[in-house]
Structure 1
Amino acid sequence: MSLRELVTWRPFQRRRRAIVKTLCYRLFMVLITIGVALFVTGNTADAVSIGLVTNVAKTFTYYGYERVWDHIAWGVAAD
């Protein structure tokens, strides 16, 4: 299979779906990060700061990652 067959510029999901998936996933990850940071630091304010800052950055990178993978046909069943 060639690279041209694996990569398509036709998206498989709507942009809105990717945004909703990203936000739901990141919300879940914010809670996990805050929990871990609270366990490590013992300080609620620091834990919330760590959780929010790291996850805002990760939200944008995850969205981009999803959009790139949306153009890769590998592993997606043909219609």
Structure 2
Amino acid sequence: MICKRPHQGWSRLLVKTVLYRVFTLALTVGLVWYVLGDPMTALNIGVAMTIAKTALYLVYERIWDHITWNMSS
């Protein structure tokens, strides 16, 4: 059940990804700051994790765009 075309365009995917990552960046920085008490370390960890997870999310979404399981025609 592999689909040959993505179900959403790149612009939609990028907007969704950026907005989601902004929210998760704030959460990560807030939690790390709370645990470690160091805002610069929290920001560094948050930015590094955001970059890595954004790339992973883009790949993950593209893989799912080619799977038609449980989707209506």
Report the TM-score, using the length of structure 1 for normalisation. Answer: 0.87
Quick one: which amino acid aligns to residue 43 of structure 1?
D
CA distance in structure 2 between the aligned counterparts of 1:7 and 1:19, rounded to whole angstroms = 23
Unaligned runs of 5+ in 1: 1-5
Quick one: which amino acid aligns to residue 70 of structure 2?
G
Q: Number of aligned residue pairs: give it.
A: 73
**What is the Cα deviation at residue 75 of structure 1?**
2.1
Superposition map of 1:17-32 within 5 A: 17-32=12-27
Which residue does the alignment assign to 1:42? 37
Indicate the structure (1 or 2) with the bigger Cα radius of gyration: 1
1:56 correspondence with 2:51: yes
Q: Is 1:18–1:67's contact at 8 Å kept on the other side of the alignment?
A: no
- Deviation digits for residues 22-59 of structure 1 (CA, Å, limit 9, x no counterpart): 11111111001001101110011111111011111110
Residue of structure 2 aligned with 1:12, choices 7, 29, 40? 7
**What is the Cα deviation at residue 77 of structure 1?**
1.6
Report the TM-score, using the length of structure 2 for normalisation. Answer: 0.93
Q: Once superposed, which parts of structure 1, at least 4 consecutive aligned residues long, lie more than 3 Å away?
A: none
Identity of counterpart residues, as a percentage?
40
Output the aligned Cα RMSD.
Answer: 0.8
